[in-house]
């Protein structure tokens, strides 16, 4: 009888010891999982559709391909790259035929005066390092509501607008003489934010140019434009730059320009604004300098916290009749939808306050005490250990 009672007593003692240990182990495991979740920085994504009058008005860039796609073919001993691009490329007056709403100008641009203002924005002509000659960028300074009020609806039986019109544009399709015949230049259209577009990879490994649309000659083209604004919160695992008008692609491009200036002491045509004091590069290695992935990583160019992108879809293309083929003019119309703008917000959902709150809840549930009580106990143990180790009066570590 006494032996059975002793066995039951030992079992109860083991249970009394095991239950707190199991609860302590469960609390530690749950705390570790909560800390791991906090360190992973989960995010919550919210999305909102906006009407057309809330859509940021896009900028457009028209670039014409040049006759020298290979830098090794450039006559660098006779002419500088910038002079070549301005001589081969078209000025704004040589490209622009019509622009609506109120974005047409008869003023010309050149290397000395590359920018001209219009009623609804400004045009800027700039030389490009790669196979383009010159590009012409229109940056509006009006809202979408103002554009919709000012746009002149041109009656055209061949291009019927399927939605609100953002821009009506007509440009010349230039030609150059090759192999005893006139060959048309290629024309690329970029629809982008108010920052300068990346029309081609200037020499950074992994850098992707902006999306473009090829404009064939003698066509009436209608493009559907939608926009998406992504706003993300800086995270430890994914830092981003909140600087105004910051863009990672342009940061990498400027990093390449700085490397070219430091290594060769010269500038390419696109570096005229950032390094005007340097002479022009006259060697192919300087003009074809590239940054590999490791060098690009050292540039310190994080993702932008605020990123605006545009999506362009070809909605309609009509060939002009034979009678209309007299002049190589491209007629372009940008249209949009009733709700073309999407705003995406990414924010961290599990913050330090949530972590401490949940840890305290699990500790109280499993151990029957509060996290503050455990902290107080830990401080008392640390105080006693300090006294035992130094044999004197310890620091006052108690919480009071």
**Residue 385 and residue 377: Cα distance in Å, rounded?**
12
pLDDT, position 158:
44
Distance set, CA 33 to CA 36, 302, 368 (Å): 5, 29, 20
Assess contact for 18 and 305: CB atoms under 8 A: no
Position 368 in a domain: no
Position 66 in a domain: yes
Position 253 in a domain: no
Per-position b or e across 280-298, b if 16+ CB within 10 A of its CB: bbeeeebbebebeeeebee
Domain encompassing residue 186: 47-240+308-347
Position 7 in a domain: no
* Number of domains making up the chain: 1
Position 271 in a domain: no
Question: Average pLDDT for consecutive 10-residue bins of the chain (400 residues)?
Answer: 61 68 80 84 89 92 74 72 75 85 82 82 87 85 84 47 81 66 73 88 83 80 92 89 90 93 92 90 88 88 93 78 58 88 90 78 67 67 74 51
Position 392 in a domain: no
Position 80 in a domain: yes
pLDDT, position 148:
80
Cβ of 24: how many Cβ atoms within 10 Å? 13
Position 367 in a domain: no
């Amino acid at each position: 009888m006494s032996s059975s009672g002793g066995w039951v007593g030992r079992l109860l003692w083991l249970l009394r010891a095991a239950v707190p240990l199991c609860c302590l182990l469960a609390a530690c495991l749950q705390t570790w999982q909560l800390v791991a979740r906090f360190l992973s920085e989960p995010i919550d994504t919210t999305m909102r559709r906006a009407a057309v009058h809330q859509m940021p008005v896009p900028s457009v860039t028209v670039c014409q391909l040049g006759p020298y796609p290979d830098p090794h073919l450039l006559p660098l001993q006779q002419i500088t790259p910038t002079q070549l691009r301005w001589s081969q490329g078209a000025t704004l007056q040589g490209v622009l035929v019509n622009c609506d709403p109120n974005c047409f100008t008869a003023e010309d641009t050149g290397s000395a005066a590359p920018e001209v203002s219009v009623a609804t924005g400004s045009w800027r002509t700039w030389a490009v390092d790669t196979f383009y000659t010159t590009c012409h960028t229109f940056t509006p300074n009006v809202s979408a509501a103002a554009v919709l009020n000012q746009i002149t609806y041109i009656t055209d039986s061949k291009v019927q607008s399927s939605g609100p019109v953002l821009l009506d544009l007509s440009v010349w399709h230039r030609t150059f003489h090759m192999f005893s015949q006139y060959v048309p230049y290629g024309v690329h259209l970029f629809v982008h934010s108010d920052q300068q577009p990346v029309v081609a990879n200037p020499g950074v490994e992994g850098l992707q140019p902006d999306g473009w649309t090829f404009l064939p000659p003698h066509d009436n083209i209608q493009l559907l434009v939608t926009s998406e604004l992504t706003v993300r919160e800086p995270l430890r695992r994914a830092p981003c730059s909140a600087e105004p008008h910051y863009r990672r692609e342009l940061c990498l491009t400027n990093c390449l320009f700085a490397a070219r200036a430091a290594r060769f002491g010269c500038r390419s045509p696109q570096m005229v604004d950032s390094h005007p004091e340097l002479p022009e590069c006259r060697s192919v290695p300087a003009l074809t300098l590239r940054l590999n992935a490791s060098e690009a990583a050292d540039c310190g160019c994080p993702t932008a916290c605020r990123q605006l992108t545009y999506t362009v879809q070809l909605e309609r293309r009509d060939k002009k009749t034979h009678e209309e083929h007299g002049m190589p003019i491209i007629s372009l119309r940008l249209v949009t939808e009733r709700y073309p703008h999407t705003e995406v917000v990414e924010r961290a959902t599990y913050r330090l306050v949530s972590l401490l709150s949940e840890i305290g809840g699990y500790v109280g549930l499993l151990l029957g005490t509060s996290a503050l009580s455990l902290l107080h106990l830990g401080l008392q143990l640390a105080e006693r250990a300090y006294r035992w180790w130094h044999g004197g009066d310890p620091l006052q570590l108690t919480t009071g």
